[in-house]
Amino acid sequence: DDLTPVEWPTDPGLEWCPPGHGDLYTALSASGLLTQLIAAGYRYAFVSNADNLAATADVRVAGWFASTGAPFASEVCRRTAADRKGGHLAVRKSDGQLVLRESAQTAPQDASSFADITVHRYFNTNNLWLDLQALADTLAASGGVLGLPLIRNVKTVDPAESASPEVIQIETAMGAAVEVFPGALALEVDRARFLPVKSTNDLLALRSDVYEVSDDFSVSLARGLADAPLVDLDPEFYKLVGDFDARFASGAPSLVGASSFRVRGDWRFGADVVARGDVHVHAEGSPGTIAAGTVLEGD
């Protein structure tokens, strides 16, 4: 309430404020790793979110980036209706510089414009290409800090306890560095290079037969699938990984034949459950168990 640092004796480790992945650049410099990489002859680097399982170091993109001479490039994808709330790239009118705009940085009166996918057509995948020498030079000129825009997040001090005190987390995003480097570029890529696991909804789809792992360990949609089904699990019972694992202890259901898979209530799923079409498991009758081998269709 008074904007002072939070105190949480139950688990003092939760008092620490994660700085966000925008801290990457200062960490590379302060650790000495940036200097070591350049001294070893490395000129370019590819970085991505750890949870983007499709973010491979594609040599074709690397070749393109090297040929442009750009100091920085961001891989972007076309926004869909499902991406309306996510951050997107925009062009700053004053100088034509690319910038990254997040929902937390947008005034309420601009919310409709922010969500307009016909105006702001591209979202940042956080697959980033860096010219290491350009990064070193820019950090040296700016005192070791890029000065990225701050993002204000409202959370609870214990993410696993919604009743714990509300806190404000201040962070920066590594994709926001696109506005720091004059001449930074954006490259539109296929959505196949963007497979984030942000929630247990994503995790269930990933563990199901919707995705395949190739011999080179890349992850892609199963043959014949154009899109993954929409998965929507009741957050009261499935949001936390421990709760999720307990309810799918026998493995994920088959979702390759499903268009959507919605679950409300507290249900545990047996082995070899199959979902087909648009499936909605209602809360009535829960807690309960979906028996092994059950085929779910519709409501």
Degrees to nearest 5, angle at CA 146 with 144 and 151: 130
CB-CB contact of 148 with 180 (8 Å)? yes
Q: Where among 193, 208, 240 does a domain terminate?
A: 193
What range does the domain containing 234 cover? 200-297
> What is the percentage of the chain residues whose pLDDT exceeds 70?
100
pLDDT digits (tens, 9 = 90+) for 99-126: 888 877 777 888 787 777 888 888 889 9
Please report whether residue 213 resides in a domain.
yes
- 210 and 106 share one domain: no
84 pLDDT tier (thresholds 50, 70, 90): confident
pLDDT for position 94: 87
pLDDT digits (tens, 9 = 90+) for 178-216: 999 999 999 999 988 999 898 999 999 999 999 998 888
- 117 and 215 share one domain: no
- 47 and 126 share one domain: yes
Please report whether residue 1 resides in a domain.
no
- 62 and 123 share one domain: yes
Global pTM?
0.83
- 18 and 57 share one domain: yes
74 pLDDT tier (thresholds 50, 70, 90): very high
Residue 181: give its domain's CATH number. 3.90.550.10
Please report whether residue 5 resides in a domain.
no
pLDDT for position 249: 96
Please report whether residue 258 resides in a domain.
yes
Q: Where among 193, 211, 227 does a domain terminate?
A: 193
> What is the percentage of the chain residues whose pLDDT exceeds 90?
67
pLDDT for position 178: 94
- 166 and 273 share one domain: no
Please report whether residue 7 resides in a domain.
no
* Total count of domains within the chain: 2
